[in-house]
Structure 1
Amino acid sequence: MPNIGNTEVAVGIETGIVTGKFPRRALSAVLEWDVLHRDESMANREATMNRKPLSKIEPLE
């Protein structure tokens, strides 16, 4: 879960629903990353549920 200082945000993998508070600029970056890597996030979610190793997901550049 991304965090900055005492703030953190969660973005639902399937829904994209954002909970928590985050600086607007940082939240934009998190949401951009989410769009670019949603399929990879979903695959890792499935791997977690099946107790399989996770794949590395590249950070936003």
Structure 2
Amino acid sequence: MPTISQFFGIVIQMFWREHAPPHFHALYGEHEAQIDIRTLEVIVGHLPKRAFNLTIEWAIEHRAELMEDWNLCQAKQQPKKIQPLE
């Protein structure tokens, strides 16, 4: 699973051949959540509050890039790296 960004101990990944809805995986320690790109709601899993808030802040800034990466993955192409939250 390609890692598309990393910041503050949070790893953002996206799978090839994933199911709808468009989403990304956020990992933080032993926690993992799948987050819908369109609504920014957690589909599956859980992150601690601080990690969740940082992830959502990042996703808001990069929503268009996330959708572009989702489309690349659906076409079985390598997603592009996305700038981390600073």
Name whichever of 28-37 and 18-27 sits farther off.
Answer: 18-27
Name stretches of at least 5 consecutive residues in structure 1 with no aligned partner.
Answer: none
TM-score, normalising length: structure 1: 0.81
2:33 aligned counterpart, secondary structure: strand
1:53 paired with 2:78, answer: yes
Which structure has greater helix proportion?
A: 1
TM-score, normalising length: structure 2: 0.61
Larger Rg: 1
Residue equivalent to 2:32: 8
% identity of equivalent residues: 33
Q: How far apart in 1 are the matches of 2:56 and 2:46?
A: 13
Name stretches of at least 5 consecutive residues in structure 2 with no aligned partner.
Answer: 1-24
How far off is 1:55 after superposition?
Answer: 1.7
Q: How far apart in 1 are the matches of 2:31 and 2:79?
A: 26
Q: CA 1:8 to 1:53, structure 2 compared with 1: closer, same or farther past 3 Å?
A: closer
The alignment of Structure 1 onto Structure 2 pairs a total of residues equal to 61
Which stretches of structure 1, 4 residues or longer, exceed 6 Å deviation after superposition?
Answer: none
How far off is 1:20 after superposition?
Answer: 1.7
